[in-house]
Amino acid sequence: MLGDDEIRKIFTLLTGRTELPDALVARHRNFADAAALGLHLMRTDTFRQRIAAQDSRALSAPVDMDRPVTVFQHIPKAGGTSLHATLAAALDQPLFPERRNGLGNWPAATLAQGRFFSGHFDSATLALIPGRAVRVVTMLRDPAARLMSLYRYLRSIQPGAARKQKRNMNLVRLARAHDAAAFFAHPALAAHPSIDNAQTRQLAGALGLKSWESHPAPDGAQPLAQDSTALPRAIAHLEAIAGVALLEHPTTVLPLFDALGLEPPPRACARLACARLSPISLPRSMRSMTATATLTEIRLLN
């Protein structure tokens, strides 16, 4: 359940409304998370009218191709929410509204006005952001730990509440209907972009999904192990961007701010739980059941 302050912030970000009646806030507490509420608001007429006005202004606004642009390529369930919040505090720039993998749905003139992007973008769509000073950072996570976090998150969502949010619930239903072993062994997930070597996929190119929770997988999706070019492409992307952090290694986080030319906000380390973070230990059974789905990711991290 969302907190009232979080609801107010999301409304302000997406609709521009700063004064919300308590009754309106109360009606939005049952959304599963911030992304679900954001998706709901982006379907409203208020949001569409606001974006239309922004697009109109963007078309007539001069484009500064040398403006500094910061992009956080957020890998789902890789600990990126705290890093997003800390980057936002350090940048003090308006956040571009797209938080899912939908940059291709925005006019180039609107993208050209953005200075801070943070979302579940794949590497293919990052090329759509205009500018000569675009700096990208990301955070990776132990592959098996990321999958277990993803599975637990899916099972935590109540289908009744999520249906009201008009989300694709197929992956949630699949997780709630199976234990972890059966879920990861399910044939329908053998090539799912969010399950099968997902970190490598997101870094290597196009995912084919706007939302990582969507299911089934895109038509024609194949297990990533069949694509011998995926791992080299993902490595090339990591070598080209400004910085990479590893969730299990907190000393890799603060250098991201140096790479972006930013001063970490006060207490940034505490916000990112640097002092408490340690490598995650998972049972051998979990590593075994996810071996195929994490094969290229293990090579990527090594």
Please report the pLDDT score of residue 228 as a whole number. 93
Full-model pTM: 0.77
CA distances from 129 to 66, 124, 152, 243 (A): 12, 10, 33, 18
Residue 76 · residue 150 · CB < 8 Å: yes
Report how far residue 55's alpha carbon sits from residue 288's, in angstroms, rounded to the nearest whole number.
Answer: 49
The residues of the chain scoring below 70 in pLDDT are 1, 48, 51-61, 159-167, 267-286, 289
User: For the chain, what is the radius of gyration of the CA atoms?
Assistant: 19
Query: What confidence tens digit (pLDDT) does each residue in 95-118 have?
Result: 998 999 999 989 888 899 899 999
**Which residue from 99, 83, 81 is spatially nearest to 91, judged by alpha carbons?**
83
Which residues neighbour 121 within 8 Å (Cβ) at sequence distance 6 or greater?
71, 73, 74, 101, 103, 202
Report how far residue 248's alpha carbon sits from residue 146's, in angstroms, rounded to the nearest whole number.
Answer: 11
Q: Return the number of other C-beta atoms located less than 10 Å from residue 19's C-beta.
A: 8
Please name the amino acid found at residue 72.
F
Report how far residue 41's alpha carbon sits from residue 10's, in angstroms, rounded to the nearest whole number.
Answer: 9
Q: Which two tokens stand for residue 295?
A: 């094969």
Please report the pLDDT score of residue 32 as a whole number. 77
Residue 165 · residue 33 · CB < 8 Å: no
Report how far residue 176's alpha carbon sits from residue 174's, in angstroms, rounded to the nearest whole number.
Answer: 6
